[in-house]
Structure 1
């Protein structure tokens, strides 16, 4: 009976894993009008339509391209858009396929495709460079995008070595390496990112432990910097100080050139 119960659990995890990994998919639509920026739509090479919010910055300032976490929404980032706008910095935040306002269903390959499509759209709007910013799950999208496109900088908030390694930590009793469809192997992609990189992590993070972010940081090529916030966890890492660190990085990238 124990074996049957275990096999049933393995089957349940396998078939429900994408609903667990992408809890924000299929959530309530984005409000109209949005609480920040302009609503735009981006078509991906495989025919999906992504809804996004875009706040245009000054023509001589880089723009930030945001990839959020797995349960997040683009309309949660008015605070970031406003802080960036005060310094003349623009922001594009996309709703992944299957997430509010966008067509399709999420998967690793789908999200990576979305990231490239978003970068290509934004590069046609701005000539002053793009800083890619990923948070949590979105750090895997950000690493892949910066490795394939000429971003001027990369910011990773609560990054992981891989989703596979995080899943192994949370489910040590399951053969995760054989079950996981979307491993998001940032550890295999970070070497391609030669641009300046800023890693931000909360010491109290119990969703993606600091050790996972540090492991990715150690694999990353120079130039790179890591800031650790002693009193922050996973969901409370964004505050005025942290946003100030992001803005400082974006402005330094511009000052120093690509």
Structure 2
């Protein structure tokens, strides 16, 4: 009996720790100030935070299209500089930004907070940069795919590119913590596939066949949930953070094909 009590106590303690510290497991920010190139800009969120961002101008000929990049859960926008430069070389303006708690920004990341942050980025492109919403492509990387999909349900873009997307956070969490009741414990849900079902803009899904973070089957399930899937691109042999999947030629070509349709 005593052993059973001790075992239950240990399990409850473990669950309490996971509950209290789960966001430290989900969000892995590089808090150093990011240096990207382009024009440094500041975004203001609806709850009053100021976020550092970089607007990388299109090279000529300018397509008159902007790409709003929502990062994954790690690093900061400096790691997305090669993506921005490659897209700019194809005639697209690119907005990179850091979420709250990333890249030297104040605040702490949460699902609700990231929704405010990406909304501030979209508002900047429309109100400050003068881009019509239908000339903006949302590019979401992994967790950022859920962030831009939620944004698309309230502010429709011209198109949506989801790189290594998951069905929802619990689904990918179960892959890495199969011994935990992940769905019950999670505070932040990020229900990407559920929300994507209500998005009526052209959607592109890109994933790596050897992704060890987000299983390829999850990205394919996301593609199946898209009402207007235009392109499904598998990058053979690519893991989650491989250069070929982060900013490789197949990724850039997929964005260009979408831009040609706008």
Q: Which residue of 1 aligns with 2:190?
A: 184
Q: Which residue of 2 aligns with 1:12?
A: 17
C-alpha spacing 1:188/1:46, structure 2 compared with 1 (3 Å): same
Shift of 1:23: 1.1
Aligned mate of 1:203, from 196, 204, 209: 209
Structure 1 length as normaliser, TM-score?
0.91
Alignment of 1:69-88 (within 5 A): 69-88=72-91
User: 1:97, 1:103 within 8 Å by CA — same for their partners in 2?
Assistant: yes
Which 5+ residue runs of structure 1 have no aligned equivalent? Answer: none
Deviates more, 1:49-58 or 1:213-222: 49-58
Alignment of 1:17-28 (within 5 A): 17-24=22-29, 27-28=31-32
Shift of 1:80: 1.6
Could you report, residue by residue, the CA deviation over 1:64-85 in whole angstroms, capped at 9, with x for unpaired residues? 0000111121111221222122
Q: Which residue of 1 aligns with 2:100?
A: 97
Q: Which residue of 1 aligns with 2:260?
A: 252
User: 2:83, 2:247 within 8 Å by CA — same for their partners in 1?
Assistant: no
User: 1:73, 1:95 within 8 Å by CA — same for their partners in 2?
Assistant: yes
Give yes or no for the alignment of 1:233 onto 2:236. Answer: no
Aligned mate of 2:33, from 29, 32, 35: 29
What secondary structure sits across from 2:25 in the alignment?
Answer: helix
Alignment of 1:35-184 (within 5 A): 35-57=36-58, 60-124=63-127, 125-127=129-131, 129-184=135-190
Instruction: Return the alpha-carbon distance in structure 1 between the equivalents of residues 247 and 137 of structure 2.
Output: 19
User: 1:40, 1:51 within 8 Å by CA — same for their partners in 2?
Assistant: yes
Instruction: Return the alpha-carbon distance in structure 2 between the equivalents of residues 243 and 200 of structure 1.
Output: 7
Instruction: Return the alpha-carbon distance in structure 1 between the equivalents of residues 158 and 236 of structure 2.
Output: 28
C-alpha spacing 1:223/1:178, structure 2 compared with 1 (3 Å): closer
User: 1:62, 1:250 within 8 Å by CA — same for their partners in 2?
Assistant: no
Instruction: Return the alpha-carbon distance in structure 2 between the equivalents of residues 226 and 3 of structure 1.
Output: 46
User: 1:133, 1:142 within 8 Å by CA — same for their partners in 2?
Assistant: yes
Instruction: Return the alpha-carbon distance in structure 1 between the equivalents of residues 141 and 75 of structure 2.
Output: 10
What secondary structure sits across from 1:113 in the alignment?
Answer: helix
User: 1:157, 1:199 within 8 Å by CA — same for their partners in 2?
Assistant: yes
Deviates more, 1:44-53 or 1:34-43: 34-43
User: 1:198, 1:249 within 8 Å by CA — same for their partners in 2?
Assistant: no
Deviates more, 1:220-229 or 1:110-119: 220-229
**What is the aligned-residue RMSD (CA, Å)?**
1.7
What secondary structure sits across from 1:77 in the alignment?
Answer: helix
Instruction: Return the alpha-carbon distance in structure 2 between the equivalents of residues 105 and 198 of structure 1.
Output: 30
Shift of 1:241: 2.0
Aligned residues: 250
User: 2:68, 2:94 within 8 Å by CA — same for their partners in 1?
Assistant: yes
Which 5+ residue runs of structure 2 have no aligned equivalent? Answer: 1-5
Q: Which residue of 1 aligns with 2:3?
A: none
